[in-house]
Amino acid sequence: MLKKDILGVFMFCIALIVSNCILYFLIPDNAIYSLNIFLMKGAYWQLLTSMFMHANLTHLALNMVVLYQFGHILERHLGSFKFGILYFIGGLFCSLLSAFYVYYDSIRSQSFINLVGASGAICVLIGFYAYADKRSFLGLVIAVLLMSFAPMLMGVNVAWFAHIFGFICGYLIARTRILV
């Protein structure tokens, strides 16, 4: 592969990582940008902005490592444009599904829930990869289940439903062969 091609291939994935990092440090209070019940009252931007907010530095770092792992592989396979479409369309659809869950859970528990992180969009990538590489399917399902439920056993709040929704969205997008 030519150097020019290598630079072009990784630009979108790297841009996502840099954007997430910059926004983490620029926006200290992210409640207006996170996914919460205000979405139902007209804060529609939350479907997109919540994918760029993170609870803490560890959350950001873990998400960015996994984004790089799967992002660079899929961007090389799909090209930057199709990779961007997969990330954003899959991430937005995952956010929409998660919003319904957040709304329902907020009413049920009578609590205010803020959903932040790129995990849903990243799980879209993982689901897409799981379909593309059938040999990795079981391992990736186990990985998504572990990253969804293991932290909860340690008392860490995790949007497990966003991980599951993301994986399913990515898998279904790959299965429909829209981006191939």
Task: Specify the DSSP element, H or E, that contains 160.
Answer: helix 160-176
3-state helix, strand, coil in the chain (%, to 5): 75, 0, 20
pLDDT of residue 8: 53
pLDDT of residue 113: 87
pLDDT of residue 5: 47
The pLDDT tens digits along the chain (180 residues) read 334 445 555 699 999 999 999 999 999 777 889 999 899 899 999 999 999 999 999 999 999 999 999 999 999 999 999 999 999 999 999 999 999 999 998 889 998 888 999 999 999 999 999 999 999 999 999 999 999 999 999 999 899 999 999 999 999 999 999 887
Asked if 132 and 75 count as a contact pair (C-beta separation under 8 A), the reply is: no
> Which parts of the chain are beta strand (E)?
none
pLDDT of residue 1: 35
C-alpha separations of 31 from 28, 46, 80 in Å? 9, 10, 31
d(CA 112, CA 157) in angstroms, rounded, equals 13
